[in-house]
Amino acid sequence: DVKVTQSSRYLVKRTGEKVFLECVQDMDHENMFWYRQDPGLGLRLIYFSYDVKMKEKGDIPEGYSVSREKKERFSLILESASTNQTSMYLCASSLYYSAGVGSNQPQHFGDGTRLSIL
């Protein structure tokens, strides 16, 4: 079974802090993704990566950055946390990149990190 592990289930940070969310997958997947999920807005893609050191912006990248130094690890960074970044953050991974991002392989999600910015 695919295992996607997010470093924290719950996290509370203060406005202006730099926040790191970590994600590790154990299935040698090429693609990795970061989403946030908010009531009424659904899942929104923040950033994705299809290879080590590669990254691409999703639909809502503002205020975030990412790092992928190793194939199994994909980090999301909130450069200066703000209250509107309070959300559930979900990491996902999928097998190889073909015609597009995860275009024909399912994405597998971690348990999520519920982040509160005070």
Partner 1 sequence: QKEVEQNSGPLSVPEGAIASLNCTYSDRGSQSFFWYRQYSGKSPELIMFIYSNGDKEDGRFTAQLNKASQYVSLLIRDSQPSDSATYLCAVTLRNSGGSNYKLTFGKGTLLTVNP
CA distance readout (Å), 93 to 35, 47, 71, 106: 11, 12, 11, 8
Per-residue x/- track, 31-50, partner 1 (CB under 8 A): ---------xxxx-x-----
Interface region with partner 1, contact rule CB under 8 A, candidates 18-26, 69-77, 78-86, 102-110: 102-110
Binding flag, residue 10, partner 1 (CB under 8 A):
no
How far apart (Å, rounded) are the C-alpha atoms in residues 41 and 21? 21
- Considering only 74, 110, 115, 117, the residue that binds partner 1 (CB under 8 A) is 110
Cα diameter, the chain: 41
Give the bridge partners for 69, in sequence order: none
Contacting positions for partner 1 (CB under 8 A): 40-43, 45, 90, 99-104, 106-112
